[in-house]
Amino acid sequence: MKAKTKFPAQNGANFYATLRQNVNADFASRNLSIHANGLMWLKTFIFLSLFIVLYLTIILADLNGITLTFLTLLLGMVCAFIGFNICHDAIHGAFSASKRTNKTLSMLFHLVGASPYVWNITHNIVHHTYTNIPGHDEDIEIAPGLIRINHEDKLEPHQRYQQWYAFPLYGLASLSWVLRKDYKKFFQQRIGARENIHPKIEYFNLFFFKFLYYGLFIILPMVVMNLHWWQVLIGFVLLHLAQGITMGLVFQLAHVVEETTFPKPDENGNMEEAWAEHQMRTTANFATQSPMAAFFLGGLNRQIEHHLFPKVCHVHYGRIAVIVKQTALEYGIPYHENNTFSSALVSHFRLLKKLGRPAVV
């Protein structure tokens, strides 16, 4: 049984106390809510409208193959954007002060083929607590045995080329998620060091909403579209390739780049640093000055602010980032940031290349 990892260090604890005080004071001085504003609701309307229009057009309109393929790929990207912008905040309880509103919007996660209940465990509870800790944070386990992102993992000969084949594998991540990952995570004995014990209703929810999703995206298209069954399945795969590559790149660029670390607890399960400083060392921002990234990525390009303040709606991250960066500077704590998406991508590529080779002594 894995020992429970703890963050007992007091060194660095003052950083987070000061930071929270500064951020809370900023919201109070501006008389602002930490939850959704008008922009957030506008984004929600836009992405859900795009989803509905694309889905109905694909299954009801008589389109040629090229147009159908393009719209299917676009729908896959929109599904990822719904996950980033709406569901992610809602599951964290950051979208609204109303638990009912958050619960309702979190259910939209089923539209992208994923279980909000399982995500809450693997992401909110485990990943946000044990970020980048090997053996605990299963969010960083990308195709174990195929992709190596930690020096502690066994180096396999084929991983010499992982910087090239990793990106196509990211495209398969969404397909694996909808067909395999949620079931595996739900029924395995533990996620990291956390024992899995589920309410009975969640057994029903898992299968009911999965089969509802299969009905909407496989069975219904087979019934109403003028296509062969195998053509519908190809479309389903294309949808998830687009969704998977969009999700995979965004999540990897936040934690698996050259600047971030993958620390281990000591023999007693204790981490060397306080929790907040640990988050700063294991997380990186990218493309923070890009309006496009800010609109489409749901604040996931400002992963530092998200990890420190997961209950704050992502539309506020740009403003509080100034406070986080300044406070980190005052306490001598690193603030990792790649200026552009492309520079983060290059950093991720270089790290994969480095980890695909024996460590230089």
At 3 the pLDDT is 60
Secondary structure letter of residue 256 according to DSSP: S
User: With contact defined as beta carbons under 8 Å apart, do 285 and 297 qualify?
Assistant: no
DSSP element (H, E) containing 55: helix 38-60
Q: Considering the domain boundaries, does residue 8 fall inside one? A: no
Does residue 297 contact residue 251 with C-beta atoms inside 8 Å?
no
Residue (of 6, 9, 94, 5) closest to 333 by Cα position:
9
Q: What angle do CA 242, 243, 249 make, to 5 degrees?
A: 90
d(CA 348, CA 140): 13
Give the helix ranges, DSSP H, for 197-340: 200-214, 220-224, 229-255, 275-282, 291-296, 303-308, 317-331
Copy the structure tokens of residue 186: 């739900």
- Asked if the structure places residue 235 within a domain, the reply is yes
- Residue by residue, pLDDT tens for the chain (361 residues) are 456 788 876 666 789 999 999 999 999 999 999 999 999 999 999 999 999 999 999 999 989 999 999 999 999 999 999 999 999 999 999 999 999 999 999 999 999 999 999 999 999 988 999 999 887 887 777 777 788 888 778 899 999 999 999 988 888 989 999 999 999 999 998 887 788 899 999 999 999 999 999 999 999 999 999 999 999 999 999 999 999 999 988 889 999 999 999 998 888 888 888 999 999 999 999 999 999 999 999 999 999 999 999 999 999 999 999 999 999 999 999 999 999 999 999 999 999 999 999 876 4
Number of domain units in the chain: 1
The conformation of residue 263, written as its DSSP 8-state character, comes to: -
Give domain status of residue 350, yes or no.
Answer: yes
Confirm whether 361 is domain-assigned.
Answer: no
Q: Determine the structural domain holding residue 186 and report its residue range.
A: 13-355
Say which DSSP state 360 is in.
P
CA end-to-end distance (rounded Å), the chain: 32
**Domain annotation covers residue 319:** yes
Instruction: Give, for 338, the enclosing helix (H) or strand (E).
Output: strand 337-338
191: which strand partners? 194
CA-to-CA distance for 84 and 222, rounded, in angstroms? 29
Residue (of 321, 267, 275, 317) closest to 88 by Cα position: 317
User: Residue 201: inside a domain, yes or no?
Assistant: yes
- CA–CA gap between residue 313 and residue 95 (Å, rounded): 6
Question: Does 179 fall in a domain?
Answer: yes
Placement of tokens 């969404």 in the chain: 174
188: closest CA among 118, 246, 140, 254? 118
Spatial CA neighbour of 149 closest among 294, 253, 226: 253
6 inside domain: no
